[in-house]
């Protein structure tokens, strides 16, 4: 895999249908031992982001998860979609990568068959990119996807996602601070086999501005960091309804 840049969507799609799929499937699957130390660290960081997202959504009295409509934009292997479905949410799980979507579907079927959550509602799975998402959902979630979007496109995407959401928008992104910028540059000096697509970091200011422009405000923030994984997690609400 060679480095690609410029927010090239076709390259991102190709990557997540091939080497990227294999790499991230292993990282995200706690049942897989076939990961190195860095990947294991990323798995732990990502699991914390998923757990923090679930905690935010479980704590929202105005949006009970059971029966809520949720759009998991860029669902990957279903790390978030599946626990949401188990909580009784009606989930649209979509991703640009067909390989990711079929893996998410397989894992959801296994979770359903395991029968541990009687309220499990099978998510609707769709292969589609974020740009083509439409409809209205109580909750829109987009975890660890904006890393594939350059600055302007990320801001545009946030406005698009906000237009689909009624009550909550939860997004995570890799924060662009001096320290992480340096770390990323060091990473670029030593491009290992895992460095197949460009990573875009975002400043909190940019993300907050995009939310504000869309008529949303940040209600809750989280920061997840392990040795190799960093994510800001924002829970946003529409300004008009922001009395809490």
Residue 79 binds ligand SAM (CB under 6 A): yes
Residue 125 binds ligand SAM (CB under 6 A): no
Q: Which is nearer to ligand SAM, 63 or 170 (CB)?
A: 170
Residue 239 near residue 210, CB atoms below 8 Å: no
Beta-sheet strand order (sheet of 69-73): 124-127, 90-95, 69-73, 137-142, 165-173, 230-238, 216-225
Residue 82 binds ligand SAM (CB under 6 A): no
- Concatenated DSSP letters of the chain: -----TT-HHHHHHHHTTHHHHHHHHHH-TT-----HHHHHHHHHHHHHHHHHHHHHHT-TTS-STT-EEEEET-TTSTTHHHHHHTT-EEEEEES-HHHHHHHHHHHHHHHHHT--TT--PPEEEE--GGG--S-EEEEEE-S-GGGS-HHHHHHHHHHHHHHEEEEEEEEE-B--HHHHHHHHHHHHS--TT--S----B-HHHHHHHHHHTTEEEEEEEEEE-SS-EEEEEEEEEGGG---
Residue 111 binds ligand SAM (CB under 6 A): no
Residue 97 binds ligand SAM (CB under 6 A): yes
Least Cβ distance, residue 133 to ligand SAM (angstroms)? 8
Q: Of 62-70, 137-145, 207-215, 236-244, which segment contacts ligand SAM by CB under 6 A?
A: 137-145
Residues 13-32 contacting ligand SAM, CB under 6 A: 16, 24, 28
Q: Which is nearer to ligand SAM, 12 or 158 (CB)?
A: 12
Q: Of 32-40, 85-93, 140-148, 228-236, which segment contacts ligand SAM by CB under 6 A?
A: 140-148
Choice from 39, 45, 68, 74 touching ligand SAM (CB under 6 A):
74
Over the window 147 to 186, marking each residue x when it contacts ligand SAM by CB under 6 A and - when it does not, the resulting string is -x--------------------------------------
Q: Which is nearer to ligand SAM, 52 or 211 (CB)?
A: 52
Determine the residue with CB nearest ligand SAM. Answer: 76
Residue 180 near residue 230, CB atoms below 8 Å: yes
Choice from 70, 85, 92, 130 touching ligand SAM (CB under 6 A):
130
Choice from 75, 85, 211, 224 touching ligand SAM (CB under 6 A):
75
Angle value at C-alpha 1, between 74 and 72, nearest 5 degrees: 5
Least Cβ distance, residue 121 to ligand SAM (angstroms)? 19
Footprint of ligand SAM (CB under 6 A): 9, 12, 16, 24, 28, 74-76, 79-80, 95-97, 100, 129-130, 143-145, 148
């Amino acid at each position: 895999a060679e480095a690609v840049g410029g927010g090239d969507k076709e390259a991102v799609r190709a990557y997540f249908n091939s080497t990227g799929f294999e790499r991230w499937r292993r990282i995200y699957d706690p049942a897989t031992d076939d990961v190195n130390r860095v990947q294991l660290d990323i798995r732990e960081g990502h699991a914390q982001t998923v757990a923090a997202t679930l905690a935010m959504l479980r704590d929202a009295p105005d949006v009970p998860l059971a029966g809520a409509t949720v759009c998991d934009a860029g669902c990957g292997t279903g790390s978030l979609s599946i626990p949401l479905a188990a909580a009784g949410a009606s989930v649209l799980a979509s991703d640009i990568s067909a390989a990711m979507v079929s893996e998410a579907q397989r894992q959801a079927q296994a979770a359903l068959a395991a029968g541990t959550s009687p309220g499990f509602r099978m998510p609707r799975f769709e292969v589609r990119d974020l740009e083509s998402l439409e409809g209205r959902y109580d909750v829109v979630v987009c975890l660890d996807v904006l890393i594939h979007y350059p600055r302007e496109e990320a801001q545009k995407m946030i406005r698009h996602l906000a237009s689909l959401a009624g009550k909550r928008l939860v997004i995570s992104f890799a924060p662009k601070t001096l320290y992480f910028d340096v770390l990323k540059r060091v990473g670029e000096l030593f491009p290992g086999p895992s460095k197949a697509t460009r990573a875009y970091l975002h400043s909190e200011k940019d993300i907050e501005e995009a939310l504000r422009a869309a008529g949303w405000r940040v209600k809750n923030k989280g920061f997840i960091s392990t040795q190799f994984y960093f994510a800001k997690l924002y829970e946003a609400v529409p300004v008009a309804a922001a009395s809490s």
